[in-house]
Structure 1
Amino acid sequence: MSRRAHRKSKTGCMRCKSRHIKCDEHRPKCINCTTAGFECKFLHSAQLSINEEAIISQKYKLALAIDDSISSSEVPIQDSSSEINILDLKLFYNFISKISVVIWSGLDFNQNYDKVLLGIALKHQHLMSELLAFSALHMSEHEIEKRHYYRSIATAYQNRALSGLKECLEHLDESNCIAVLLLSNLIGLHSFRTVFASLSDSVPFSDFLTKITHLINLQRGVRAVVSPYWSWFLSSAIGPAMRNNHEFRMRCSSMESSDTEILKQFILSKNLGSETNEIYLKELENLQVNFNQVKLLQDKNPKPIQGLFAWLVTISREFLQSLEAEQAEALLILSFYGVVLHHYQECWLIRDAGRILVNFVIERLGLDYSPCLQWAEEQTNSDTTESIENNKIHTILRERQQLSLSPSVMI
């Protein structure tokens, strides 16, 4: 029997579209939004071009993602109308003296980027709020006795920044698009640290993937919304920094290296099909760029982390779906990203995240995938005094061997 054709609604509300559910199209509020108590918005009745409709839809999805990112804060921040805010001054000084030098150290555009960032932050309160939030997060890592206090401050300031970002998206133009782009970069670094800081053996891996997926979609959303201004960015004050960063990434891309070759050959041996192979091999190719970046910056101390999270933000939706489904090959690729992160362990934004990420994958895949995982495990434990006989992968091997020798086990 032939399947009955289904005509996709083109006039449903934005929330129903973003959730991929059927909308009854009742105006001014559809039943779904009315029942859930959500704000209900429809596209303008006038006909829009495909690009215009896509941008409007992306803005709405991004607004929803921003709403989901706003967290509760237990510590109120001082009103911005105060003449002198000592906390703000302390956070601002901490940023310019201790943070920016770590993020962009060793890159040619370091000083120019700092000047542009600080100059624009002084004109846009939402960008300044995130700058202060990021600084508070940094101080929470270094002033242990006040960790809870500074993390609450970081949350409060980031909430203000996210609210400001949402307002900017409603009136995005050349006067604020650079601030939005810089803000998204800082929010990305801040959010990735928050997620990776939560990594521990007691945190469910699915929770980690859910948080990472949300942050990836938030970053993608911002970039999609500001994409019409990309050529304008290149001719603006941040143009030199963008070109410098692009040239550096291209240099990394052109290097001949084989850090991911063992995993590439393993995936090809699994007979997953040409389409699946293409998805995985493309991600490995992009991940190799990060390995090459590590090599080029190995003499820098500290290593600049700019571009470190580029692989996560640019992974394909198909690969992201494989990660969410915890497909073995996708997890293996993620473990190799953990090796990249481990090279930056001296940075407060990374710490032990790489090693924990690799161990997560080892615990899920075990012995069958040890040929690839052993290299990742050795890389992330190479600087420890723990002997190789006691590492996690060898513990798994011993347990499996004992199990197979037990007379009470039926195969």
Structure 2
Amino acid sequence: MARKPHKKSRLGCVECKRRHIKCDEGRPTCGNCNISRRACSYASMISEAHIILEQFPRNSRSAGKADKQRPSDSPTPSQAGSGSDIDSPPVNALHLELFHHFVQDLSVSLGLDRIVSGNRAIGLMGSMLAAPYLMDQILAFSALHLSILRRDQQKHYKYHADQLQTHAISALNSLKLEVNPENCLPLFIFASCLANHTLCEKLVFRADSFDDFLDDFVQSLHLHRGIRAITSQSWHFLLETPLKDTLRKSGQALDDGPPGDECLELLSLVDTTVSDPATRDTYRQAIESLQKTLNANRVLSPELSAMSLVISWPVMIPPEYSDRLAERRPEALVILAYYATLLHMHSTIWLFGDSGEYILRSVNAYLGNAWEHWLRWPNEVLRIYSASPQASEMRTSADLTSTPGA
């Protein structure tokens, strides 16, 4: 039987194109490169994105063309790896479906319906439509959400989520923008959406091993660093946008939450056992930021929804914490376990799924019994939530069972 000619992928990684083989594009590092231990162009794309985000305020303005064409055709089920006989819809119809889903459903999940209305909503939508890189990322995020909701079409939507995100990053990288009053809002929304998209991928579609998961999670922390860079250096611009009230109130909610003591024991352990002053200060900042989120978690408000609360911690932590986590420092892993309690408390949110429980159990296994006293509070939370009839009911509810695990 004659071999069917291989149809080249337009967006496959460089190494697979050179070797004339089909690229598994649905991964940060494609499967072929991973198996053969070759350098993969996809592996560096997200890293390049977070560097670009951090350098926005320092980049000089470029007159490059803003628009980047979206994919002009949908893959067949075999190209998308769907394993089903569901044909991909035409691209224009697919984009309309994704945009409609974002406006009607995902915006509610993100809390946009509560924080913008009337003219502010029109202004926000105008910013989205004026920035093609942002529109591609919004469509990608919408496709990611549908890949979780519609499990029978999961690979189909996940494929388009990856493709659209690739186009979004490529379009942004070509612009070399400088933050100004006109683009600060789309850049901020793009950075937030990209970071949350990547975080969801690392948490819900996580790697098989805990070591690989940690590497991926650190990568997502780097992207959240980009949000912090844009927010801190363009705050005066953002306060003139439709999100001004939300930004002020969410910051106030984090600062004004009723004080709690969940992290006091961990702070004491860090102070008495970590000898290096710089490392100790890094851990203290990460822990104090986490205590703020736990305080605010007790009094959630429309300005600070559960989802925005949980994803605020990766934005607030010092950059050095992700370095310590990449080094597998035990104290950094314990802090991650404390953060995982928040993920576990909100496991019905599609962005997190069962990742909190996975991280808690994995950290326990990784560190062993010698660190059991450091993990006392996270393990107590895990025991209570696992034994609670309400938690059991929540874990079997429709919105959670539609969320894929590892």
Q: TM-score, normalised by structure 2?
A: 0.68
Q: Is it true that 1:250 corresponds to 2:255 in the alignment? A: yes
Matched AA of 1:343: M
Partner of 2:294: 291
Give the direction of change, closer, same or farther, for the CA distance of 1:78–1:234 in structure 2 (3 Å limit).
farther
Matched AA of 1:375: W
Partner of 2:244: 239
Give the direction of change, closer, same or farther, for the CA distance of 1:367–1:148 in structure 2 (3 Å limit).
same
Partner of 2:189: 182
Structure-1 separation of matches of 2:125 and 2:266: 42
Give the direction of change, closer, same or farther, for the CA distance of 1:373–1:161 in structure 2 (3 Å limit).
same
Check conservation: 1:126, 1:161, Cα contact below 8 A. yes
Cα deviations by residue, 1:80-101 (Å, 9 ceiling, x for unpaired): 8xxxx22122212211222121
Partner of 2:379: 377
Partner of 2:214: 209
Range with bigger deviation, 331-340 or 125-134: 125-134
Cα deviations by residue, 1:126-148 (Å, 9 ceiling, x for unpaired): 21211111111111111111000
Give the direction of change, closer, same or farther, for the CA distance of 1:290–1:371 in structure 2 (3 Å limit).
same
Range with bigger deviation, 140-149 or 211-220: 211-220
Structure-2 separation of matches of 1:114 and 1:366: 50
Displacement of 1:350: 0.5
Map of 1:75-224 to 2, 5 A cutoff? 75=80, 85-104=92-111, 109-111=115-117, 114-170=121-177, 172-199=179-206, 202-205=208-211, 207-221=212-226, 223-224=228-229
Consecutive unaligned residues of structure 1, counting only runs of 5 or more, are 1-35, 39-51, 60-72, 388-411
Structure-2 separation of matches of 1:184 and 1:237: 17
Give the direction of change, closer, same or farther, for the CA distance of 1:384–1:119 in structure 2 (3 Å limit).
same
Map of 1:221-370 to 2, 5 A cutoff? 221=226, 223-224=228-229, 228-252=233-257, 255-270=258-273, 272-297=275-300, 303-370=305-372
Larger relative contact order (CA 8 Å, sep ≥ 6): 2
Give the direction of change, closer, same or farther, for the CA distance of 1:366–1:304 in structure 2 (3 Å limit).
same
Displacement of 1:232: 1.8
Check conservation: 2:191, 2:226, Cα contact below 8 A. no
Give the superposed CA RMSD: 3.4
Structure-1 separation of matches of 2:134 and 2:213: 27
Check conservation: 1:77, 1:157, Cα contact below 8 A. no
Matched AA of 1:291: L
Structure-1 separation of matches of 2:272 and 2:202: 34
Check conservation: 1:168, 1:180, Cα contact below 8 A. no
Give the direction of change, closer, same or farther, for the CA distance of 1:318–1:170 in structure 2 (3 Å limit).
closer
Displacement of 1:117: 3.4
Structure-2 separation of matches of 1:267 and 1:240: 36
In the alignment of these two chains, the number of paired residues is: 314
Partner of 2:16: none
Structure-1 separation of matches of 2:128 and 2:351: 22
Give the direction of change, closer, same or farther, for the CA distance of 1:173–1:281 in structure 2 (3 Å limit).
closer
Q: Which one has the largest radius of gyration?
A: 1
Give the direction of change, closer, same or farther, for the CA distance of 1:203–1:268 in structure 2 (3 Å limit).
same
Structure-1 separation of matches of 2:193 and 2:242: 18
Check conservation: 1:209, 1:324, Cα contact below 8 A. yes
- Aligned residues with identical type, % of pairs: 24
Displacement of 1:271: 5.3
Check conservation: 1:141, 1:147, Cα contact below 8 A. yes
Cα deviations by residue, 1:307-354 (Å, 9 ceiling, x for unpaired): 422222332233222211111111111100000111111100001111
Cα deviations by residue, 1:153-207 (Å, 9 ceiling, x for unpaired): 111111121122223434654332321111111111111001111336x3242x2
Q: TM-score, normalised by structure 1?
A: 0.67
Give the direction of change, closer, same or farther, for the CA distance of 1:363–1:183 in structure 2 (3 Å limit).
same
